[in-house]
Structure 1
């Protein structure tokens, strides 16, 4: 109760600001796709003590429980700042829009420290992974105008890494799940937790890693466990020994997509899902709700996703990315980012770091 009284005592002028700006008065594009923008109806916004009511309903929706009234007030202040950014961004944008999600009470610096875990610098500090130097799709021609590996049955449901910088493991696993389905016809959910616990020569669990090292681990370890046999814990654990009769999925190798080449990424993506690193250290990315993203990025690649397709919408070309922050983020866990900008590195450096696993047709589970 003390926490609620503290919230109610705060300046009501900010509530009036948001009402004047209008939560639904964003761009025509955003309104067409998501009328509520922040994920709440006009009835929600008509609650007494507008912002406190919105914060309360948001807290209930996302099962937020705070340790003390002081912590609740702190999170409410962060929530207000984030909400201001969402509303102001949506008023001036047209191609993408932001919304309240489960990160709305997290300060941006906290968010970057907890949820971004791509570490491209590992390849410079440590031994380079020994992948193939070839790019098997270099001579691919007549690419389809659109590809969506979700519709082809090569993508498992969106997963959630939790408050752990394990995006590199999820990106790796999604790419392996994809090529395994393409080769064998069977979609099997695989274990990020095994990579978290066991792939620790160069990768560092919740402290980050790199997909190429993870592909190399899977090769050297003669495969990776299924999700069912080795489920995800949202934290680092102890490496489990392979059981004699455990089901494992193998890969033959992995290859890097040539750097700063949109054409090369599309060639690879036309044939299989691809692990990709992007510069995601911006508040726009934290609160992305939908549309084709071409906004503020980070300084350098710091987050790993999996490219699962590409297409075009009313003349706007995009790449479809599977994220690992649950279905409440973005477009039910997915992200569309603009392509065809003419910048070699692409929006958010999307063409700087990309790789994919390879698998020979040798039968399932081998």
Structure 2
């Protein structure tokens, strides 16, 4: 018995060494292998392969060379980070040819330079919620639509808003309907379309103007358009209003999340967030040798200067790490099929990346 336990321990240790200090054998997780880094020619081959995978093309040879240099710099950052043995991988995703400054300018969009409007209801309806479940996943409950892609438009605030409205609508009506971000971009003049906005303003707009159209009736353009008021006779999904989650309180966020998806703002401008890929396999530090821990929980680095709107759609634990499940709007190829698990119980009142600072949710009382 002691011999078999020792053999298992040796096996787990060998896996730990392989997974902690080398790239995974399934290179699709990170998008490259060690061999790709061995020469300029290999890097160029990798770049061509990456271009094909993501349907990239450039207007000139000079632009292609410039993008190749950006690509190499991003790959260096990704590889150096992966070799630090973090609990998550970074991957060579579709943003691989964008400088970090370009990425921040195109894919973020929460406006913090305008005052946040407090909800019309000063109460927090979930204040007295007790006996919260250990984990919640609104995807499994049918309240989350497929991951969407905002493209190069700073409309994350609209996607965050819509995800929360889709969630409460499904919970109340039992009908999951994909709703229109484009309507908010075109018609909500309190916000700034592709130049950013706030989820509270968007909730207020929806509640006061009769609701949101479906995605099919008012599809996404990836740019600002003209408000289509003539579509008013088509199907609309309504909300009653919205409420803010008490600031800097993880307990309050979990109380709300146990009852519905929640709009949250985070700081997503870090380079590691740009290339987050997800799952990494680690060995537990334990004498029991019960098996492998599959992690992938993002634990930074990031600050708390809010610049991106996303939707929290659940919470849980993995490998001893507690996390919040966050739905992003950068398409299903980013992160864990469009999602990121963000560490909670960090000891910071603002939460990881400021996730506790500006959370809110729509209400639907009819």
TM-score (norm 2): 0.87
Q: In structure 2, list runs of 5 or more residues that go unmatched.
A: 1-16, 279-295
CA distance in 1: counterparts of 2:148 and 2:178, whole angstroms:
10
Number of matched residues? 333
Q: Distance in 2 between matches of 1:44 and 1:92?
A: 19
Query: Is 1:168 equivalent to 2:157 in the alignment?
Result: yes
**Alignment RMSD, CA only?**
2.1
Give structure 1 stretches of 5+ with no counterpart: 1-23
* SS of equivalent residue, structure 1 residue 336: strand
Residue 135 of structure 1 pairs with residue 135 of structure 2: no
Indicate the residue corresponding to 1:189 in structure 2: 178
Counterpart CA distance in 1 for 2:118 and 2:224 is 23
Matches within 5 A, 1:255-270: 255-270=243-258
Contact conserved, 2:303 with 2:353, CA < 8 A, in 1? yes
8 Å contact kept, 2:21–2:83: no
Q: What is the SS of the residue equivalent to 1:122?
A: coil
Aligned residue number for residue 101 of structure 1? 93
Matched, 1:156 2:158: no
Where does residue 294 of structure 1 map in the other structure?
A: 299
* CA pair 192-150 structure 1, distance change in 2 beyond 3 A: same
Work out which of the residue numbers 59, 62, 66 in structure 1 matches 2:58: 66
Query: Which residue of 2 is the match for residue 275 of structure 1?
Result: 263
> Map of 1:223-262 to 2, 5 A cutoff?
223-243=211-231, 245-262=233-250
Q: 1:121 Cα deviation (Å)?
A: 2.6
Supply the distance in 2 between the matched residues of 1:335 and 1:29 (Cα, whole angstroms).
Answer: 22
8 Å Cα contact 1:257/1:265 also seen in 2: yes
Distance 2:360 2:186 in 1: 22
Q: 1:303 aligns with which of 302, 308, 311?
A: 308
From 47, 63, 77, give the equivalent of 1:85.
77
1:215 touches 1:357 (CA, 8 Å); kept in 2? yes
Q: d(CA) in 1 for partners of 2:40 and 2:104? A: 34
SS at 1:135 equivalent: coil
Residues 312, 324 of structure 2: 8 Å contact kept = yes
Q: In the TM superposition, what is the alpha-carbon distance from 1:305 to its structure 2 partner?
A: 0.5
8 Å CA contact 2:22, 2:83 repeated in 1: no
